[in-house]
Amino acid sequence: MLPTIISIQSLLLGMGILLAGSGLLVTLLGIRAHLDGFSDGMIGLIMSGFYVGYILGTAWIPSLIRRIGHVRSFTAMAALSSAAALIHGLWLDPWVWLALRVISGISLLGLYMVIESWLNEQSSHVRGQIFGFYMTISLLALGAGQFLIGIYGAEALGSFALVSLLFTLGLVPVALTQVKQPTPIQTARLSVVRLYRLAPTGAIGAFISGTVTGALWGMSAVYASRIGLQVSQIAMFMALLIFGGAFLQWPLGRISDLCDRRKMLVAVAGAGVLASIFLLIIPPIATDGHVMNLFWVGVLLFGGFSFSLYALSVAQTHDRLGPDQVLEGTRSLLLLNGAGAILGPVLSGLFMQWLGVSGFPLFILATLLSLMGYVVYRVMNDAPVPEAERIDFVVSTRTSPVAAEFDPRIEEAAHQMQEQDGPNESSVQRADSPPSPDPSDGAEADDAGDKRSR
């Protein structure tokens, strides 16, 4: 694996610098918006703009890359991100910030797509290791970027200039890379309705986990500021949330390989509920060092459980799809997760506006309880996937639809397709899907019967 990492080090370095800037910007915006008196509901709306841009970019960026190429697209998106970051500091208006967050969502999605296309092209022989390494580097870079806010502080234009500088510097290693440009991007998706029929728990899990993580990215810094944390402590709060997701995903995922993954989803969501209750209780009494240390541990676990839900939902979906459906299904999960992330900041911001600072953990708690209730319903009504048919868990987070091709489970599915006798081989209904419709329903019957063959 080491020779491959060396060959793509410029790509990883560029993306790491960019994500450090992105992580710094989201925290900076939350703190600064709160200090400037924006309402919690307005802050939530601003933060949701990023995910609106993400959805728009999913439809628009692939055609742009096909027209002008990967290097030019990356250069344009990095420059756009850099300019948008600086304008935030120059023009303190909530509606301008909303428009800038949409632009940032489009441009960062484009950066993800270009980098992941390159990595996918260069890592065919060690896909699993490189994919996990890339996902871990992404989360660590986002977490490390939080601490840069202490250089200038939340109220200084210099902090926005620092974000702009990072976006610009991140462009340099990628623009100078000698790695061969990848093939054009294709982004076909399995329809959301069909995906829900085939893997309802995974589809709902992806949507609700997006709602949770969208709220965390969008409103955590505001919450931390509202409970009285200093800027350096807010950076620690955000970093621990992200690091928790980076460190807990793998052990939780490996445990899910050994049991009904739906029960693991219930357990992890339940642990997130307990962590939400912890956040409701601890901040008012977190006055001495020992209590603060306990608070930091709780934040780490809160982030770890919350950020692990999407990866578990993806794994649950992969268990239920046929080899020819995995790639498109994963792309649809990203879309569902992004749609949920649009709602997360808006709804959590409204909860905080209506209920005060406790509205943030209460929103997370209520959202996780809804996920638990739905998954328990599925467990009670459908049999689990047999252990022999489960696909190994892989650490993952929401980046771009191109990451679906990069996921090593896609390669495994491709091998399974090659080993099948032919396209007309009979298929077996998966346990988590509702019973197949009557054949007289036509196309729906064909969809429901199109499951993984064993």
Q: Which of 70-74, 167-171, 387-391 has the highest mean pLDDT?
A: 167-171
Tell me how far apart the alpha carbons of residues 322 and 409 are, in angstroms, rounded to a whole number. Answer: 12
The string of pLDDT tens digits covering residues 203-260 is 999 999 999 999 999 999 999 999 989 999 999 999 999 999 889 998 999 899 889 9
The string of pLDDT tens digits covering residues 74-97 is 889 999 999 999 999 999 999 999
Judge residue 105's burial from the number of C-beta atoms within 10 Å of its C-beta, 0-12 exposed, 13-18 middle, 19 or more buried: buried
CATH code, domain carrying 75: 1.20.1250.20
Determine, yes or no, domain membership for 389: yes
Determine, yes or no, domain membership for 30: yes
The string of pLDDT tens digits covering residues 333-371 is 989 999 999 999 999 999 999 999 999 999 999 999 999
Q: Which long-range CB contacts under 8 A does 162-165 form with residues at least 24 apart?
A: 162/21, 162/24, 163/21, 163/24, 163/25, 163/28, 163/85, 163/86, 164/21, 164/82, 164/83, 164/85, 164/86, 165/21, 165/82
Determine, yes or no, domain membership for 270: yes
Determine, yes or no, domain membership for 299: yes
- Looking at the chain, the whole-number percentage of residues with pLDDT higher than 70 is 80
Determine, yes or no, domain membership for 91: yes
pTM for this prediction? 0.86
Determine, yes or no, domain membership for 436: no
- Exposed e or buried b per residue across 134-156, where buried means at least 16 C-beta atoms within 10 angstroms of its C-beta: bbbbbbbbbbbbbbbbeeeebee
Tell me how far apart the alpha carbons of residues 120 and 124 are, in angstroms, rounded to a whole number. Answer: 7
Tell me the mean pLDDT in the region 105-130: 78
Collapsed DSSP state (helix, strand, coil) of residue 400: coil
Q: Which domain holds residue 147?
A: 10-171+193-419
Contact 4, 121 (CB under 8 A): no
> How many structural domains is the chain composed of?
1
Among the residue ranges 122-131, 187-196, 273-282, 324-333, the one predicted with the least confidence is: 122-131
